[in-house]
Structure 1
Amino acid sequence: MKFLPFILFTVLTNAAAQLMLKQGMMNLGPLAVDGVHPILRVLQIVFSPWVFLGLCTFVISMASHLYVLSKVELSFAYPFLSLAYVAVAVFAYFVFREDLNAWRIAGIAFICVGTVLIAQGGAGHAQSSASENPVQTSELAR
């Protein structure tokens, strides 16, 4: 559980990136490409302020996730990323006035329960007993 803050940071930066990308795409409006070269349009999208900030936040999230993966088991860390959906759904409700109906709330509850069960399932440390006794090169030749 010592790496839980890093896992939650990954989740929150992932969710924040999604919200920034949504804001950026809403600011851009319809993506009509009439008379605009497609590569120029892609560059216009990527370098619009909110989209660019969202992409940068994704890079930070991925760097954090890579750090987490170096410290805990993948089967422990990865399910926590589902909490990003929870954060996005709740924040999208408040920020973008998106629908948060009973079915979505039920799904969010299941995600939260599942994540808690996974968190209770073990410490999640990547170090195993096999890695405590490294194999010597001479042993591989046998």
Structure 2
Amino acid sequence: MKTIAIALAVFCVLLSSAAQLAMKKGLGAPSGADVASTYLHAFTSPMVWLGLVLYGASAVLWLWVLSRLDVSLAYPLVSLGFVVTMALGIAWLGEPFSWVRVGGCTLIVLGVSLLALDA
């Protein structure tokens, strides 16, 4: 049962990362518009709505994860979202690559791996 909960936790992280990417894609590049224009654009963008739905689904599934795993194990898995989101941001959104970011993500993966050894 714990393996299923960890797998679902990782799936939640992937859903959350996909949500962030969809919302960013839906917003496009900064236009210098005022706050009201930004939110009007956001709420009329199908990609932003897709991101919100994915984020909501992730949150609902996360409730099941929290009911099955210690929060001290489950929550650090959320940090894997930084790694996934960075990699997909570079690949899908054309964001800049940086070895410093790769180093930071490597430290995150090492930390989560250490925590998983104690699972």
TM-score by length of 1: 0.75
Equivalent residue, structure 1, for 2:93: 96
The reply to whether residue 85 of structure 1 matches residue 82 of structure 2 is yes
Which structure dedicates a bigger proportion of its chain to helix? 2
- The residue aligned with 1:128 is none
Per-residue CA distance 1:73-111 (angstroms, 9 max, x = gap)? 111100000000100000111111112211111111100
Gap runs ≥5 in structure 2: none
Distance, in Å, in 1 between the alignment partners of 2:39 and 2:89 is 25
Count of aligned residue pairs for this structure pair: 117
Structure 1, unaligned runs of 5 or more: 123-142
Percent of residue pairs identical: 31
Q: Say whether 1:73 aligns with 2:50.
A: no
Q: 1:101 to 1:57 in 2, by over 3 A?
A: same
CA contact (8 A) 2:22 2:48 kept: yes
Q: Which runs of 4+ in 1 moved over 6 A?
A: none
Q: Which residue of 1 aligns with 2:8?
A: 6
Which one has a bigger Cα radius of gyration? 1
TM-score, length basis structure 2 = 0.88
Alpha-carbon RMSD: 2.0
